[in-house]
Structure 1
């Protein structure tokens, strides 16, 4: 049987083992020049539809000039014979019918108006791809979709509910019981630091600033130390917002209890938190009882597969490199696209030419379980009010701690009354009223408030003929001394 030689030509043994071409070895001819057919007498095997002349004959000698091939395009799709249409085993197509060297034959995309029979059967009765979709670029991967809202059950208390969600206003708060006696009456005292301790605090402050001189530490005369404690009132309110919406998940055969009655309202569903979780920002999600139903998936109609949205069910997508042309122009040279090998289309990377993908809505289960989902959003709101009567900036008081002289925690707290500093009682009443009205769509879950007495001492000193003052504040005894006398690094010690 004739075997091909490198280059694509069949070998024909010659009588006597001699070659008609100069240099032939072993009875095998050299291949002819590019574009020419071997001039040996003989017959090609019959190839339907390739040569219009005598079936099975070579084309007449000299009919094609040197370097030319027979006319391209005798096949219905492209210049190459379709897969499976080559001659019988051991016979080869004439030169020029192979794809160009370096690009192995690739499976061609089906016609764009073609759907696999099994894909067409699965899509029967549903929206078909339009011609605009067929030649479109790659779409997005399939994603789950919600059932039509008109098909959902009408549940009492959840009329008009959709899949985006909405909040229901909370019920009115219950009346507060009367406050306990002596609510907010405290005794506040702070120990005044000694002169030696004040000089130690100033020395530590100077050591933190390389340009400050040390002379005033010992030379300044401390005249008075006046305690003027600041009060830091803090109110925290933890609220909850309840949002309901329809939701669905794939049904995998788990037991769904039948309804035992009407579903509870959004604010009637019991959601609990541990005390360690109080006064934090949290989210809780739960299913509303008596709202669960199982239904056939609306996307795949129980078939567990749906049309691929990346290729629109065609199995192939238009090449994004050449935009379906099969070739690209590079430096004024038209070249075959290496991304799609000249086909103009590529296999769909999502469905792998099947046109169908597992249904993402039901996760290929065929059924979904629908229910009303309740989301509880917990938020902690915090306000701080500083009561301070000196020139010390309030932000410094906020940054330090003091002695806690009052604390109370309830579902709803009362304003402080009878505090030694009247401004603290007024601040408490103002913030409690504000928190009770500021969030009408949220229900107050719990409140707590406290009062810290932050020690503040105004130190009056005399140095170098000038009298001034500075402040020592907080439990950590920080110092606020913006007008320290020796702040230049060039000071002679």
Structure 2
């Protein structure tokens, strides 16, 4: 039956009545009250578009082939589901000595206490002798050059076979490195599901962050350790689920069901064909919560209570700085980062003195500057456990060679005999067919 607005139609058994908007005001019964007495009537309204969130009784006639459809499932209520929230500030007890501790960290590292005994004075390191760089042979330079070229897929080996070495020049290059091994400590409020762990808050005063013993690893080996601060553990109701152990399902908004993915909530497929996946209901059970409408709380894991405590984070790290003396070879300094050299000098102790009497003045100046910088930079928030300084001699040989009447250069450097040849004359462009 096709209706024209503002007319409405009332379908009674055996007859159809038409009425205007004015007449509708005389109709007092709602759809839920539509079944009365000995007859049933349906109110059919023409609407601009269906309200998909209201899956009440099906309006209109029923296809007798399918019989009476199953009752419609209720749509999910309009609800705002919040994710896990941060613990409230009043959840944490006041612990003397830990007043600035935050949940999740972020408070920064804690300065170490002043030493009770005087620090041992560093020992003066002996002066380093003047080292000369040993020269590499021409055969060794050619071998390194050939290895380098063979590792390049688009390099021709002709310059290696036909090139003539005209000059080999060694260069002095020193690398100074200072390492400071530090211990840093920070605290944060933490929590875990309560399953009967000991509760000791208030039994006695909690020790300070730097009074808690920690197992120091080998020097210059980075490591981390977390320690539960004694006498700070207490039990609180879970703030996330309010002590219920479960939270509304975020997939279905707590309804336990969601629109059918086959019919998109209409209950039908291909015009009037009833959806067999949801049996015409338009909705299906939520797979995330198995139709319960709620899921286990991710914060307390369903235990309803949390053990709240202060966690101490201990970090051992090696802070490094290095300086490479400038040379006139022409090789870029960053190329030396992946090679090693011959160790000329090594000094490791609680605190090191700057290097004295080294033949290259720039190395001695760098040592004095970096030792002072490490004291200022790391002693404020960390405990310095050990320092180590080394000086390496990195061999660099500049090789000049001729090929097809032109002069070219390559470098052999490091104990690994690495090669750098930026102006290699026989390169080609490879393409994959």
TM-score, normalised with respect to structure 1: 0.60
Which residue of 391, 400, 405 maps to 2:344? 405
Matched, 1:192 2:135: yes
Deviation at 1:164, TM superposition (A): 3.2
Question: Corresponding residue for 2:218?
Answer: 275
Provide the residue aligned with 1:254 in structure 2.
Answer: 197
Q: Give the SS at the match of 2:362.
A: helix
| TM-score after normalising by structure 2 | 0.67
CA–CA distance in structure 2, aligned partners of residues 402 and 272 of structure 1: 34
In the alignment, structure 1 segments of 5+ residues that lack a partner are: 1-35, 37-48, 54-69, 81-95, 113-133
Q: Select 2:73's aligned residue among 93, 101, 109.
A: 109
| Offset of residue 182 of structure 1 | 3.5
* 2:179 alignment partner, SS class: strand
- Selected match of 2:125 from 158, 182, 193: 182
For residue 158 of structure 2, give the secondary structure of its aligned residue in structure 1: coil
Offset at residue 334 of structure 1 (A):
7.7
Task: Tell me which protein shows more strand as a share of its residues.
Answer: 2
Task: Call closer, same or farther: CA 1:184–1:151 in 2, change over 3 Å.
Answer: same
* TM superposition shift of 1:155: 0.8
Q: 1:154 aligned to 2:118? A: no
Matches within 5 A, 1:276-425: 278-280=220-222, 282-298=223-239, 303-305=244-246, 307-308=248-249, 310-317=251-258, 326=266, 341-343=279-281, 345-389=283-327, 390-425=329-364
Distance 2:256 2:145 in 1: 80
Is 2:175 aligned against 1:232? yes
The change in CA–CA distance for 1:323 and 1:200 in structure 2 (over 3 A counts) is closer
Cα offset, 1:382, TM superposition: 2.8
Per-residue CA deviations over 1:284-343 (Å, capped at 9, x if unaligned) read: 32211110112344455655445555555544456688887x46898xx68767775554
Q: Who is 2:57 aligned against?
A: 78
Structure 2 CA distance for partners of 1:248 and 1:468, relative to 1, 3 Å:
closer
Q: Hey, what's the Cα distance between the residues in 2 that align with 1:357 and 1:183? A: 69
Q: How many residues align?
A: 379
Q: Residues 354, 427 of structure 1: CA spacing in aligned structure 2 closer, same or farther, 3 A cutoff?
A: same
Equivalent residues of 2:321, 2:370 under 8 A apart = yes
Instruction: Give the structure 2 partner of residue 212 of structure 1.
Output: 158
- Once residues 460 and 488 of structure 1 are traced to their aligned partners in structure 2, the CA distance between those partners, rounded to angstroms, is 18
Summarize the Cα distance change of 1:372–1:404 in structure 2 as closer, same or farther, 3 Å threshold.
same
Deviates more, 1:433-442 or 1:380-389: 433-442
Separation in structure 2 between the aligned mates of residue 318 and residue 215 of structure 1, nearest angstrom: 75
1:46-125 paired onto structure 2 within 5 Å = 52=38, 78=57, 101=65, 105-106=69-70, 108-109=72-73
Q: Distance in 1 between matches of 2:246 and 2:138?
A: 85
* Equivalent position SS for 1:433: helix
Structure 2 portions without partners, runs of 5+: 1-13, 15-34, 44-55, 429-433
Q: Which residue of 1 aligns with 2:78?
A: 136
8 Å Cα contact 1:472/1:479 also seen in 2? yes
CA-atom RMSD in angstroms:
4.7
Q: CA deviation at 1:246?
A: 1.7
Distance in structure 2 (CA, Å) of the matches to 1:103 and 1:273? 77
**Partner SS, residue 167 of structure 1:** coil
- CA deviation profile, 1:180-201 (whole Å, cap 9, x unmatched): 2334524524432345555555
Deviation at 1:387, TM superposition (A): 1.2
Give the Å deviation of 1:416.
Answer: 2.0
- Name the CA shift for 1:309/1:211 in 2 (closer, same or farther; >3 Å): closer
User: SS state of the match for residue 93, structure 2?
Assistant: coil
Describe the SS at the equivalent of 2:206.
coil
1:206-231 CA-to-partner distances (Å, cap 9, x unmatched) read 777416346765x5555xx5543211
- Separation in structure 1 between the aligned mates of residue 96 and residue 66 of structure 2, nearest angstrom: 70
Larger Rg: 1
SS in 2 for 1:268: coil
SS in 2 for 1:396: helix
In structure 2, C-alpha distance between the alignment counterparts of 1:461 and 1:358, rounded to whole Å: 74
* One of 370, 373, 376 as aligned partner of 1:434: 373
The match for 1:10 is none
Distance 1:50 1:161, change over 3 A: same
CA distance in 2, matches of 1:327, 1:220: 86
| Inter-partner Cα distance in structure 2 for 1:150 and 1:235 | 46
In structure 2, the CA distance between the partners of 1:213 and 1:145, relative to structure 1 (3 Å rule), is: closer
